[in-house]
Amino acid sequence: MFATLLQATGAGDKLVTPEVPWSHLAPQLILVVGATVGVIAAAALRGRLRRSVGAVGAAVVAGAAIVSIIPLWHRVSNPAQGPISAVNGAIGVDRFSLFVTALLCAAVILASFTAEAYLQREGLDGPEFSLLLLLAAAGGSVMAGANDLIVMFIGIEVLSLAVYVLAAMHARRISSQESGLKYFLLGGFASAFLLYGIALTYGATGTTSLLRVQSFLAERVLTDDGLLLGGLALMLVGFAFKVGAVPFHMWTPDVYQGAPSPVTGFMAAAVKTAAFAGMLRVFVVGFASYADLWRPVVGALAIASLVVGAVMSVVQTNVKRMLAYSSIAHAGFVLLGVDAASAEGTAASLFYLAAYTAMALGTFAVVTVVGGSGDGAHTLDAYRGLGRRRPGLALAMSLFLLAQAGTPVTIGFLAKLGVIRAAIDADQWALAIVAMLTAVISTFMYLRIVVAMYFAESESESDDRGELRIPWGVGVTIGVAVIATLVLGVVPGPLEHLSDDALPVLVAVDGR
Amino acid sequence: MSAPVFAAATAAPFNPLLVMILVPLIGAAVVALMPKARADLVRQVAVIFSLISGASSLYLLSEFVTKQGDFQFELRHAWMKSFGISWHFGVDGISLFLLVLTGVLFPLAIVAVDPGHDHKPYYAWLLVLMAGSMGVFVALDLVVFFLFFEIVLVPMYFLIGLWGHGDRIYAATKFFLYTMFGSALMLVGIVATAYLHQRGTGGDWTFDVVEIASKPGISTGASRWIFASFALAFAVKVPLFPLHTWLPDAHTEAPTAGSVILAGVMLKLGTYGFVRFGLYLFPEASRFFAPVLLTLGVIGIIWGAICATMQKDLKRLVAYSSVAHLGFIVLGTFSLTKEGIEGAVLQMVNHGITTPALFLLVGMIYERRHTRNIDELGGLQVSAPILAGFFTLAMLASVGLPGLNGFPGEFLALAGAFKGARWWAIVAASGVILAALYLLWAYQRVFHGAAEGDNATMRDLRLVEGLVLAPLCALIIVLGVYPKVMLDRIEPSVTALVEHMQHAEGGGR
């Protein structure tokens, strides 16, 4: 594959197969191999495995991937060595890609614990669920490190295919099927847009390598850059679809509503993170010289996402749809950091994504519990009186919601502060003001859920929905998310350091 | 400053500021972990923790060095280094008495009112609220200030929503969203302040109030915009006309302890913010916007008085009287004279004593009669003479009778306004008369006349209730007769602030 690529870009007449320094790709390899071995084992031992094996296995594999990141992080942080790349410069190993990979793995761990409880309750078979999470994370990790647009495409497809299946995972629920199909069809369109954009970019610059695109644009001034602009626009459409930015958000409410709740949480947290990582890498770094042209478009996407996400979330009555629109608004906030097109902006975006990962996974873990058997109780009514029935659960949910609203002493506040700072630093005053005003509108929606949980009188005491069970898996997820939301909101130092350092760099150094 | 000898006076054995913030937080955690069934125990624990915090505010008062305008008991600890945010705390004469007020009011509010149900979360939220209120008054970093300024919304939201009366959900949500709306733009303003200051002075990013004020680097035009964003947040909190409509709802529907804290402490966040972050950081912009704010303040005085006169609900009447009283504070602040600002600070504290006393009394009446409708009450002084006596005292203080604590602040604020903003002062002075009108009229309807039905058999104050009211009433008299205790400590800081403003404006940019 790479060989043909190289040939196409005129690397030489002779086929040169690049040497692959496998150790640099350890996190991705662990994820892929773990998933593959898991699928085979599941098929061979069908029925003889306890259900929780899948979740625990996925968590162990993702944990191992995180562990493998630590030496790599130290290595690329070492000023004597610096960031490196693998496979002839096609995959970058820098602190940016490592940070995003670690974030995705953390999301896998939390989501698989929630999923374990969900599968148990719904009587669904299958360690496949957790293993698909691993594959998705591997795809996202490739996206975060892609120094080549084709590799980016491979990453996005691996991620998306896994998530399409995950969305349709609840085979007995028609809404889950519908959600998967919708996501698949619209996602296919988005991929096509992205691929077409890559093709046009290739046509304009003669290469798909971001590194060579960069040097190409540095050396030459294009007198007619229509082709390149078309390519940029189409790629932006593809990414905007994946992050769920307005006006490419249409799928979000339906898919979020229909997908199994743990999957929705994973989509909100991990898919968004991976797509934004790709976007940051391609636009902020690869096409930095065209920033003046794409920034206004990203700014417009941000404003549209903020306004539509906030306003539409208020009029929903289904909590999953509310959270879907709120995730659109959050995408708008992250776009603020992308729009800044600066080191601060990238760091702020990463911080925001990390914060949102914790908050979203926690929120959807609660949603999973409240959804009840059949995963259908997602109206506001289902939350009525939750403060009495399960005070702990209601308190955790309130914390996640208030954190998403940006209340201080939670990580959500610092995330918002970071992107606002980046926007003002880039002289985007209007964006900063719109973002804060829409945050107030979103707050109203979050408060509606809080009101339902605490203040609404349960009209009929006899309406006994039965005791909500909180299985241990969900308990773990919620507990970790609560700790992350609160502790990192007070002591953000560690995460702040990591995200500040995690800047994408384009290098072709196949270090050893 | 004139007395460098006292410079080392902050060598107290411990720093009370941290105790004041952290102890209630720990208390909230302890309360949250206690068994649900032991309501009395929960209450005792809450009282103890709030008392420790309150006692350290009194300790702060005793250790505070008079005749010194600088910040004392300063603490600084880096929080987010790359952003230039630090936990920077400090007290000066302007914030000192607001802290003491917070320290006194919370234990009283906790002792005075029994929530009736869900004791555990109730006391936990009150303690969180106490920590947040303390934090607002000691924060000397813009982000840390914003953090506390916002966090107090959450406990108050739950207090109104869960333990309030009537239309409590509507009131709680309205309260939350109004304040949130105000402060949303302030966050942009805060980041803009740090950004423009960094660009203007060429240093590092910093959100430190003292540093930003000491090295001006923000252009006049920009500082006006930023001031406007701050002013909006504070105007909602004060509240200034026409942003005041959340206040009557929130005050009326809140449980008594909530009203006490709202009136006593939380309304001061706005007026305190104007002094600390408006005047101090943006002197020129404050002068530029002073006519607008003076006008809104005066409208508030008159409008609040007119609305109060027309209320049928006794609690709502007291709530509207707050709108009027807070108007005087704004008037004094934006007269931008030394007397005016001193009066404003004095009035912040004094309003924080009299109005909570009135709310407590209204709460006690409501508890007995289950109505706050003025028409259904009458002749209460026959059945409850002691309650009537306390009410008379608090009401007269609220009217501004000389010799009681309402007078010196209002007088100084008006005197300052007369120097700096004469025409506004003249209109505002009529508000004093209106206050006498609506309060005395209400008193007459509620306490005079013949008592009928339940009014005739109403029980008088219990001992505990008397003990709760006694400290407030003692303060009403002591601070009315001898305001010098406070002025000695407030004056140097206000003088320093006024000099700072003159210097900053005179120095030009």
Return the pLDDT at B13: 67
Give the nearest partner residue to B173 out of A418, A451, A492, using CB atoms: A451
Q: What is the pLDDT of residue A438?
A: 92
Q: Decide if pLDDT at B445 tops 50.
A: yes
Nearest CA in chain B to A497: B82
Q: Is the pLDDT of residue A462 over 60?
A: no
Distances (CA, A) of B248 to A392, B229, B231, B318, B425: 33, 24, 21, 9, 25
Share of residues in chain B with pLDDT > 70 (%): 97
H-run or E-run covering B125: helix B119-138
Cβ neighbours of residue A392 under 8 Å, at least 6 residues apart? none
Residue ranges covered by each domain of chain A: 2-457+468-501
pLDDT of B508 reads 46
Q: Which helix (H) or strand (E) holds B58?
A: helix B39-63
- B89 strand-pairing partners: B75, B139
Q: What average pLDDT does range A254-270 have in this prediction? A: 92
Q: What is the pLDDT of residue B3?
A: 38
Asked if B57 and B16 touch (Cβ cutoff 8 Å), the reply is yes
The reported pLDDT for the residue numbered A67 is 93
A511: pLDDT confidence band, cut at 50, 70 and 90?
low
When pLDDT is cut at 50, 70 and 90, the band that residue A240 belongs to is very high
CB–CB contact B176 A417 (8 Å): no
Q: CA A299, CA A332: separation in Å to the nearest integer?
A: 9
Residue B305 has pLDDT above 70, yes or no: yes
SS3 A148: strand
% chain A with pLDDT above 70:
93
pLDDT at res. B11: 53
Q: What's residue B5's pLDDT?
A: 37
**Does position A508 have pLDDT exceeding 80, yes or no?**
no
pLDDT in tens, B200-254: 888 888 888 888 888 878 888 888 999 999 999 999 988 888 888 888 888 888 8
**pLDDT above 60: residue B147:** yes
pLDDT value at position B463? 84
How far apart, in whole angstroms, are the C-alpha atoms of residue B171 and residue B238? 17
Beta-carbon separation of A421 and B147 below 8 A = no
pLDDT digits (tens, 9 = 90+) for A94-150: 899 999 999 999 999 999 999 888 888 888 777 788 889 999 999 999 999 999 999
B141 reaches A (C-beta below 8 A): no
Three-class SS state of B141: strand
Distance from CA of B176 to the nearest CA of A (A): 9
Indicate if the pLDDT at residue A461 is higher than 50. Answer: no
Residue of B nearest to A413 (CA): B147
- Is residue A465 over pLDDT 60? no
Q: What is the number of H-type helices and E-type strands within chain A? A: 21, 2
Identify the pLDDT of residue B1. Answer: 37
- In this predicted structure, the answer to whether residue A224 has a pLDDT above a threshold of 60 is yes
Residue B2: the pLDDT is: 38
| Closest alpha carbon within chain B to A447 | B173
Which of A335, A362, A359, A360 is closest to A346 using CA atoms? A335
Tally the residues of chain A.
Answer: 512
Rounded-to-integer distance, Cα A180 and Cα B178, Å: 40
Q: Stretch B11-36: mean pLDDT, rounded?
A: 83
pLDDT, tens digit (0-9, with 9 covering 90-100), for A77-99:
888 777 888 877 888 888 999 99
pLDDT at A334: 95
Tens-place pLDDT, residues B370-416: 888 888 887 788 888 888 889 899 999 988 888 888 888 888 988 98
Contact A241, A190 (CB under 8 A): yes
Read off the amino acid at residue B78.
A
**Residues B40-65: b if buried by 16+ CB within 10 A, e if exposed:** eebbebbbebbbbbbbbbebbbebbb
The DSSP code for B298 is: H
**What pLDDT does residue B141 have?**
92
State pLDDT tens for residues B247-292: 888 888 888 888 899 888 999 999 999 999 988 889 889 989 999 9
Size of interface A-B (CB pairs under 8 A): 78
Q: Is residue B182 pLDDT above 60, yes or no?
A: yes
Enter the tokens of residue A349: 């975006």
Average pLDDT, chain B: 86
User: Chain A within 8 Å of B158 (Cβ-Cβ)?
Assistant: yes
Residue pair A493/A438 in contact (Cβ under 8 Å)? The answer is no
Residue B90 is given by DSSP the state E
DSSP run (H or E) holding B248: helix B246-253
Mutation for testing the B interface, residue in A388, A409, A416 having most B CBs under 10 Å: A409
If you average pLDDT over each of B59-68, B121-130, B460-469, which comes out highest?
B121-130
CA dihedral A172, A175, A179, A181 (to 10 degrees): 60
What are the distances in angstroms from CA B291 to CA B125, B189, B411? 39, 21, 20
Q: What percent of chain B has pLDDT over 90?
A: 22
Strands A84-86 and A91-93: antiparallel
> How far is it, in rounded angstroms, from Cα B387 to Cα A323?
52
Q: What is the mean pLDDT of residues B124-147?
A: 92
- Residue B234 contacts A, CB cutoff 8 Å: no
pLDDT tens track for B63-121? 888 888 888 888 888 888 778 888 899 998 899 999 999 999 999 888 888 887 788 88
pLDDT of A14:
64
Q: Best residue in A314, A450, A482 to probe B by mutation, most B CBs within 10 Å?
A: A450
pLDDT at A296 over 90: yes
DSSP string over A438-493:
HHHHHHHHHHHHHHHHHTS--S-TT----PPP--HHHHHHHHHHHHHHHHHHH--H
Q: Which residues of A touch B195 (CB under 8 A)?
A: 421, 424-425
- Res B169: pLDDT: 85
Q: How many CB atoms lie within 10 A of CB B148?
A: 21
CB within 8 A of A287, min separation 6: which ones? A213, A217, A232, A294
Taking residues B472-500, what's their average pLDDT? 89
* CB of B173 less than 8 A from some CB of A: yes
Pairing of strands A91-93, B72-80: unpaired
What's B498's DSSP letter? Answer: H
User: Do residue B147 and residue A433 have CB atoms under 8 angstroms apart?
Assistant: no
pLDDT at A466: 59
Lowest mean pLDDT across B38-47, B335-344, B456-465, B490-499: B456-465
Contact A443 B180 (CB under 8 A): yes
pLDDT at residue B20 greater than cutoff 60: yes
**pLDDT band, very low/low/confident/very high, at A458 (cuts 50, 70, 90):** low
- Whether residues B150 and A413 touch (CB distance < 8 A) is answered with yes
More confident residue, B36 or B500: B500
Q: How far is CA B387 from CA B382, B403, B443, B460, B473, in A?
A: 10, 21, 12, 6, 12
- The pLDDT, as a whole number, for residue A128 is 81
Touching check for B143 and chain A: CB below 8 Å?
yes
Token pair in block for residue B223: 């500082």
Mean pLDDT of B343-365: 91
Residues of A in contact with B181 (CB under 8 A): 437, 440
SS3 A318: strand
Stated length of chain B: 509
pLDDT of residue A75: 87
Contact A436 B185 (CB under 8 A): yes
Helix (H, G, I), strand (E, B) or coil at A207: coil
The tokens describing B219, both together, are 């252009």
Residue A232 has pLDDT above 90, yes or no: yes
Q: Which of A11-15, A21-25, A123-127, A306-310 has the highest mean pLDDT?
A: A306-310
pLDDT at A504 over 90: no
Both tokens of A260, joined, read 């199994």
At A1 the pLDDT is: 46
pLDDT at A7 over 60: no
Residue type, B213: A
Residues of chain A positioned with their CB less than 8 A from the CB of B230: none
Q: Which residues of A185-202 are buried (b: 16+ CB within 10 A; e: fewer)?
A: ebbeebbebbbbbbbbbb
Chain B nearest-CA distance from A258, in A, is 30
The alpha-carbon gap from B156 to the nearest alpha carbon of chain A, in Å, equals 14
What integer best gives the mean pLDDT of chain A? 87
Q: Which residues sit opposite B91 in a β-bridge?
A: B72
Q: Flag whether pLDDT at B452 surpasses 90.
A: no
Residue B4: pLDDT over 50: no
Question: Could you state, in order of their start, the residue ranges of all structural domains in chain B?
Answer: 1-281, 303-509
Residue A378 structure tokens: 């997602």
d(CA B152, CA B131) in angstroms, rounded, equals 9
